[in-house]
Amino acid sequence: MAIQLFDSLTREIRALRASHADGVFRFYNCGPTVYAPAHIGNFRTFVVNDVLRRLLELEFGADKVKHVRNLTDVDDRTIGQTQKEKRPLAEITQKWTDKFHADCAALNCLRPHAEPTATGYIKEQVNMIEVLMEKGNAYRAADGSVYFKIESFPGYGGLSRIRERELKITNAVADADHKDSVSDFALWKAYKPAEDGDVKWPGPRGASEGRPGWHIECSAMSKSLLGDTIDLHTGGVDLLFPHHENEIAQSACAHPHGDFAHYWLHNEMLQVEGKKMSKSLGNFFTVRDLLDQGIPGEVIRFVLLMTHYRSPMDWTAEKARQAEATLRKWRAATGSIEVSAPLPGVVEALADDLNTAGALAALHAAAGVGDWAGLKASAQLLGLLGPDTADWSWKKVEASFGTVFVAGEGDQDRFFALVKAFAEVWQARRAEKDYAAADQIKATAAQAGLELKAVPQGVMAEMRPDFDPAKLEAPQ
């Protein structure tokens, strides 16, 4: 098998190969900016990259893939958030990093082998900027910032194929005064006390103290962790210009003997119910929002894989319902079945430009003929039906006053009516504000190993391992 991917640089389908003598495939994915919750569209990128990572490990070997995904923890947005909240930068970025990790875990994404932070690589960025200044690719502006001189790199625009004129319009931003050309972009931003609070580091030689520009972060971190030449660089299509174009310019000029990235992969964006996701339309939601609605992470992952990564995708509630029904059926049928090798049809679909929709179709076909061992192994290649996500298989019923969820290890079918009755009566007493009675019901349930919890959308009733229905009588 050879993995074929659409390379956004050459705009051709190309067979992937590992270019280094050690056979390790080096793979860099631009990660999140940790100042706010990652929305569901961000996670399209991370789930696509996670399937790619699993496929690469199948192709090159589990110990022959090095996956790096950075955390952007200093830029205009993270600094803006510290100013808004009047809290230290590290506190804000740690909070959102933890939440990002929780979302990744809920969606069963593998941890990258390295997850560098921009603030952890300031020295490397400063060094790289100094190299670019020495080589004449960068210059100090009057305010002490440093800019990349686009004119100095004839290959500029090779990825985005942007024209000179478009470039000037796109990059004509507020601080144009300090630049030689409006097209030039910042490598280092001089400290501005009113905007930056206490976020600053000593700058490159000859420049003011300040902080790095966003683009240099990825160039320096990928160089530090993966070397001058990486095999594959990935990200959402919204990063193609200017972020990735600028990364190429910086890296190609600072390390001309390397190739920077042999392949580029960009995934398309996500919209919701046919509309662009936006806070003003009220259709902007995060992974946490969906999990809180009772949609399991595995269902979210499944929906994100239903559309080929190079097509724009539409998140719909209907797709989530379909995905949930499918996964319930597959989970029930595959239960404790031993996995076999992934189905050739699934591997071929993935190797053919990461055709996840085709892979899911092959899984449906396997379900049709009852090949559950093959289905389970193949689903796991897609990060589905894994043991780590097995705990979502609760039942859900709509009750008159909300939704009751029943979770746990017990025999859900057999005791469902009893457990649901407890949850419903508890909820009814709470609604009547009869808290004494509600507490009594909760305590009785807890004694029998049944945990009752209020969740935003109703009640979660969890059957603990010590669940003993003999201790329960249907409440009045």
Pick the closer one to Zn ion by CB: 109 or 141: 109
Residue 235 beta carbon to Zn ion: minimum distance, rounded to whole angstroms: 6
Residue 233 beta carbon to Zn ion: minimum distance, rounded to whole angstroms: 8
Residue 165 beta carbon to Zn ion: minimum distance, rounded to whole angstroms: 26
Residue 218 beta carbon to Zn ion: minimum distance, rounded to whole angstroms: 3
Pick the closer one to Zn ion by CB: 218 or 459: 218
Cβ-based neighbours of 337, under 8 Å, separated by 6 or more = 372, 373, 376
Maximal C-alpha separation, the chain? 82
HEC-encoded secondary structure of the chain: CCCEEEECCCCEEEECCCCCCCCCEEEEECCCECCCCCEHHHHHHHHHHHHHHHHHHHHHCCCCEEEEECEECCCHHHHHHHHHHCCCHHHHHHHHHHHHHHHHHHCCCCCCCECCEHHHHHHHHHHHHHHHHHCCCEEECCCCCEEECHHHCCCCCCCCCCCHHHHHHHHCCHHHHHCCCCCCEEEEEECCHHHHCCCCECCCCCCCCEEECHHHHHHHHHHHHHCCEEEEEEEEHHHHHHHHHHHHHHHHHHCCCCCEEEEEEEECCEEECCEECCCCCCCCCEHHHHHHCCCCHHHHHHHHHCCCCCCCEEECHHHHHHHHHHHHHHHHHHCCCCCCCCCHHHHHHHHECCCHHHHHHHHHHHHHCCCHHHHHHHHHHCCCCCHHHHHHCCEEEEECCEEEEEEECCCHHHHHHHHHHHHHHHHHHHHCCCHHHHHHHHHHHHHCCEEEEEECCEEEEEECCCCCHHHCCCCC
34 lies in the binding site for Zn ion (CB under 5 A): no
Pick the closer one to Zn ion by CB: 104 or 248: 248
176 in Cβ contact with 142 (< 8 Å): no
Pick the closer one to Zn ion by CB: 30 or 406: 30
Residue 239 beta carbon to Zn ion: minimum distance, rounded to whole angstroms: 6
Pick the closer one to Zn ion by CB: 189 or 442: 189
Residue 241 beta carbon to Zn ion: minimum distance, rounded to whole angstroms: 12
Pick the closer one to Zn ion by CB: 119 or 378: 119
Q: Which of 34, 68, 162, 218 binds Zn ion (CB under 5 A)?
A: 218
Binding positions for Zn ion, 79-138, rule CB under 5 A = none
Pick the closer one to Zn ion by CB: 266 or 331: 266
Degrees (nearest 5) of the Cα angle 310, 314, 318? 135
Stretch that binds Zn ion, among 27-35, 60-68, 258-266, 312-320 (CB under 5 A): 27-35
Q: How many residues sit in the footprint of Zn ion (CB under 5 A)?
A: 2
Q: Which of 30, 138, 327, 445 binds Zn ion (CB under 5 A)?
A: 30
Residue 102 beta carbon to Zn ion: minimum distance, rounded to whole angstroms: 22
Residue 254 beta carbon to Zn ion: minimum distance, rounded to whole angstroms: 15
Stretch that binds Zn ion, among 180-188, 212-220, 226-234, 378-386 (CB under 5 A): 212-220
Stretch that binds Zn ion, among 42-50, 143-151, 218-226, 363-371 (CB under 5 A): 218-226
Pick the closer one to Zn ion by CB: 244 or 430: 244
Stretch that binds Zn ion, among 22-30, 127-135, 316-324, 406-414 (CB under 5 A): 22-30
Residue 17 beta carbon to Zn ion: minimum distance, rounded to whole angstroms: 23
Specify the amino acid at residue 361.
Answer: A
Residue 30 beta carbon to Zn ion: minimum distance, rounded to whole angstroms: 3
Q: What is the CA radius of gyration of the chain?
A: 26
Pick the closer one to Zn ion by CB: 108 or 250: 250
38 lies in the binding site for Zn ion (CB under 5 A): no
Pick the closer one to Zn ion by CB: 218 or 320: 218
304 lies in the binding site for Zn ion (CB under 5 A): no
Residue 243 beta carbon to Zn ion: minimum distance, rounded to whole angstroms: 6
Pick the closer one to Zn ion by CB: 30 or 363: 30
Task: List residues near Zn ion by CB under 5 A.
Answer: 30, 218
